[in-house]
Structure formats: C-alpha cells, structure tokens
Amino acid sequence: MQLGPYIEHTLLHPTVTKNAIKKLCRQAIQYRFYGVCVPECYVALAQNMLTEHPIKVIAVVGFPLGNQSTVAKVCEAKHAILLGASEIDMVLNIGFLKSGLFDKISDEIAEIKKAIGSRSLKVILETCYLSDEEIELGCKLAIKGNADFVKTSTGFGTAGATLEHIALMRRASKGLLKIKASGGIKDRATAIQFISAGADRIGTSNGVQLVL
C-alpha cells in the first residue's frame, strides 16, 4: 500500500521553527504526501514552498483547546485561507458538547464552513475526552454543520486515535463524512490498521517513518 496519498505531514508543537516547517515541506515533496498540517503563522511559508507541487496546506483553527469564540475561529479560518491554506482543521468546543449546547456547535461549524467555501473542513472531536455517545453526537453535529471530515485528535490530549473510535466514527457518519485519524500513529503497520478500519487520512508528525 502506498501511504503517501493518505498522509498529512504535521508539525504543530509550540516550539516549531521556520526551518522545521521548511524541512516538513521538503519531506512532503520528497515522499509525495497528501499535505502538510501547520499552524496559521506558517501557512504562507508552507504555501510558498509548495506552490509548484500538488501538496495541500492544511491549517488548524481553535487549536488545540477549541474553546475560542466562534467569531475568533471564523476570523482565523478566513485568514488562513487568505494566506494560502487549502483545508481547515477546527477543534470542536468540547465544553459546549458536554454542556448540551448542540445548536451552538453545529452553528459554529456551519459558519466556519461558509467562511471557507468549497475547501474541506475537518472537525476535531478530541475523542480521548468523549464517551462513545458523545463521539457519535459530535459526528452528527459535524454533518449538520456541513463539515467534510471528522478527526480524532489534536495530539495534545491525553490520548490519540484508537481503532475502536475510527470504527465508531465511520458508523456514526453513515458515509456523509470522511475520517481523519491523528494522534499517536508512528509506524507503517499502525497506519495501515487505521486505514483498514475506515480512516481516509492519517495525520502524523512521523510521516517519513511511515513510508520508509
């Protein structure tokens, strides 16, 4: 199996440098990854390096906690697109989900999707903090908000993706959403397991290790 087309090569930690982003992009070109996932402040740099290559630049919004205001998330998403991002990964407001503020969540997703138009929107559920019922509900709210994907994790929570959660998200999405597995995927065998379980994309900072 060729894993390159599944991989969103990711670098989001707080100390990431300009040179590290350049290296990330060079690796994405070398190994023909689907895209790179970077903080908004590095979107323009990544886009400039990848402009002659069919590699997407993915930006994160409301990252990593998800509890910013909707206005702030929409503004961040619009600016990331202006800088050259092709896709947006937004963090769902977990506190709102646990508070039963479901309309606020779906409305927020819908506003961000409207702001970015035809570009793909992924909703990060941060599954390590959610029950199975909450994961299922998060998928339903993502569908209601017209998102394109649901994603397991930021990589900053207490745990990353699990095969069980991917299968649950696949069932709950009923073919209306694609699935991105992220968090803790560090080798080829594990990545293949997640794809077999239903993941359409793999988000990882270990992309090179997955394809070697």
Respond yes or no: is residue 174 known to be catalytic: no
Question: Which one from 89, 122, 140, 148 is the annotated catalytic residue?
Answer: 89
Q: Which residue has 């293949």 as its token pair?
A: 192
- Cβ atoms of 21 and 45 within 8 Å: the answer is yes
Question: Which one from 56, 73, 113, 180 is the annotated catalytic residue?
Answer: 180
Q: Which residue has 């930021």 as its token pair?
A: 154
Compute the distance between CA of residue 74 and CA of residue 78 in angstroms, rounded to an integer. 6
Respond yes or no: is residue 56 known to be catalytic: no
What value does the CA radius of gyration of the chain take, rounded to a whole number of Å?
A: 16
Respond yes or no: is residue 180 known to be catalytic: yes
Beta carbons within 8 Å of 60's beta carbon, 6+ residues apart: 12, 37, 38, 39, 40, 88, 89, 90, 91, 154
| DSSP one-letter code for 18 | H
Question: Which one from 56, 73, 113, 151 is the annotated catalytic residue?
Answer: 151
| In the chain, beta strands by DSSP E | 7-10, 35-38, 56-61, 87-91, 120-124, 149-151, 178-182, 201-204
- Cβ atoms of 167 and 136 within 8 Å: the answer is no
Compute the distance between CA of residue 138 and CA of residue 73 in angstroms, rounded to an integer. 18
- Cβ atoms of 161 and 183 within 8 Å: the answer is yes
Q: At 199, phi and psi to the nearest 5?
A: -75, 135
Catalytically active residues are 89, 151, 180
